[in-house]
Structure 1
Amino acid sequence: MDTFYDKKSRILNELIAEQMHTSSSLQMYSMDMEAVVKSRLSIAKESEVVSKLIRKNEHTGKTEEAIIAFQGIILACILPLFEIKNQCLDDSKWLSHIQQSVTITRLGLDTFKQIIANSRHTYSMFSCYIPNTKLVAISEFIVKDKSLLDNTNKNATITASNCFFTPIKQTAGLTTVDIGTELNHCRSLVKVDNANYKPTSPIIFQIGDIVKLQASLISISSKGNYTVKIILRSLVLLNRELTMEATLARMLVASSQPVSMMPLPQCLKCHNPYVGHGNLCKGHKNAVKEAADKVAG
C-alpha cells in the first residue's frame, strides 16, 4: 500500500473513532455481543420466508427496523443507472431485475476486521430463527479475501444492496417498495416512462471514496435455504477532500507538465490508481506520480 491509500486509511480510522462518539446510530464497528444485548437487537419473523433484524426503541418502547452504520472505502458500486441482470429482458420486466449495490473495504486494517467479525456475529443471530441449519452464507454478504488487483493483493469486503426487485413469486412476504426515495435516495433520477429512469446530475460516489453506508439486515427464503441480505438504506460521503475526483483535480493542478484528463479508475488498486495509465508517456507518468505523492503526503 502506498502513501495515497495510507492516508485514506488513516483518515477513515479517525472518522470511525469520531462517529463512535458523536453518532446516535448503531455502529457495526462496536456491535459485539455485549453491544447487541445493550442495543436490544433481536430477530422478528415477518412471514414464513422473511425475518428482519429489529431493535427496541428505548424512548418509545416500540420495535423498529435496526439500521446499522458501516464505514469503508468503495471497492465497487452499481448506482443509478442500474445494472440489468439480463440484457434480453423486454421493457415490461426491466424493473424486476435492477439493483443498486455498494461494496466497501478497508485494505486489511484492524478496524475493518472488527466490522467483519461483528457482521458475522449479527449474521449468526438469524440461525436461531431458521430451522434445520438452512442458513447459508452468500458472497454478497461477506467475501473473504477478495482480489483487488491480482492474486497477491486480497482484502475482505462487505456488500450492501438496495431493496432488490425480483419476480413476485420470489418476494412473498416482503414489503412492496415503490420507485421512490428508497430506490432513488440521492434524488438523481427522473422518470422517462413506465420502465426507465435517467440521471439528472452526476453521481458523486466513485471507487476509492470514503463513505458511510447505513443498512438493515433481512433473511429471505431461497430455493429451500435461507440467506441474509444487507439492505442499503443510505450512503453518505465522509470526506470530500479525498474523493477520487477531487484528488485528480488537485494532482493535475500540482503537476508542472500538462497532463490530459484521465478516466477515473474502474477498480480499486493497491497502489496509486492515477499512475501507470497506458496512454501516458514515461515523462507524464513520472510527473503525475510526483504530484500525486505530494497531494497524498
Structure 2
Amino acid sequence: MLTQRSSQSESWFVEHVKLDQRIMPKRWPDCQELILVQAGEGHLVVNGNPVVYGPGDVFFLAAQDQHSFSMAQRTSVYRLSFSRFFVDSLPARENHTWGYLDAATSPCLGSIATDVADQDKLRALVVMLLAEKQSLRPSSDNCIVESLMAVILSLVCRLLARSAPTTSVQPTHSSEITRRVIAYITRYIGEPHRLRMDTIADAFNYSPSHLSALFKQQVGASIQQFIIRHKLKLVARRLQQTSLTVSEVADEFGFTDVCHLNKLFKRHYKSTPTTYRLNLLSTL
C-alpha cells in the first residue's frame, strides 16, 4: 500500500495496493470507488456477483456496494475513493453535472472502460493524483487535486453514460423526472416489488397514469416496456461476462422462472439465453 487515509473525515483518498487473499482492502463508508486493475486476473465479486477482471479493467462501485477479490493471479490495483460531499464541491465542467455517478447503481456488469485508450487515460490521471497525494502538500484547497479529480470524474461519467439506458430526452423539467425514474429503475432492477407501477408512482408523488404518460412522451416506451428491455440487456451482459447459470440470472433479475426469461429473451434476441451464450463462446 503506497498511501494511507489519515482520517475518516477525509473526503477522498487514493492508493496503490498489492492484494493479499488474507487481508483485503476495506470500503470506506459513504464513498464511491474506482478500481483500476494494474496486474493480475481473477474475479471481482460485487454484492455476491462474480465479474471477470484482468489488466486494464476499470470498475466503478456505488457507495452501498460490497466487494471482494477472488484471485487467480497475484493482483495489484489502484483504488480511488471519494465522498458525495467532495464531488459536489468540485466545479462542474462545461455545464456538466455528476448525475451519472448517482445513477450508476445497477449491478456491476464488468469493466466500464473496454477501450485501451480510455484505460490508459484513467490510469495516467490516477497515477498523477497519487503522486500529488504523496507530495504531502495539503489536500484541501489544492487546485491540482481538484482539477485532476474533475477530469477523472468527467471521464468516468462519460464511460458510465455509454452503458446507461439510452433515451433521446430533451433537457426539461419533465426530462429531469424521467431521468430520476430511470435512475430509480436502474437501482432496483433486481427487486420486482419496487418496480410495480403504483410503487414507482408513489416514490415520485405522481399518479400512475400521469407518470406513465409523461415517461412515454419523453422516452417513447412505457415504463414496463423500458424495464423489460433494460433487464434483458443486463441478462445478456451477465451471460457474456459471468459463469452464472441461466436459472441464477433469471432469479437475480426477478423473472418468474427460466421459462419466463426464455420467452422474453427470445422475443428480443431471437434465441434462448443458453443458445445466446453458446454463440458467444463459439466466437472466442
TM-score tier (shorter): under 0.3
TM-score by length of 1: 0.22
The structure with the largest helix share of the pair is: 2
Using CA pairs under 8 Å that are at least 6 residues apart, name the structure with larger relative contact order, 1 or 2: 1
Output the TM-score relative to the length of structure 2: 0.23
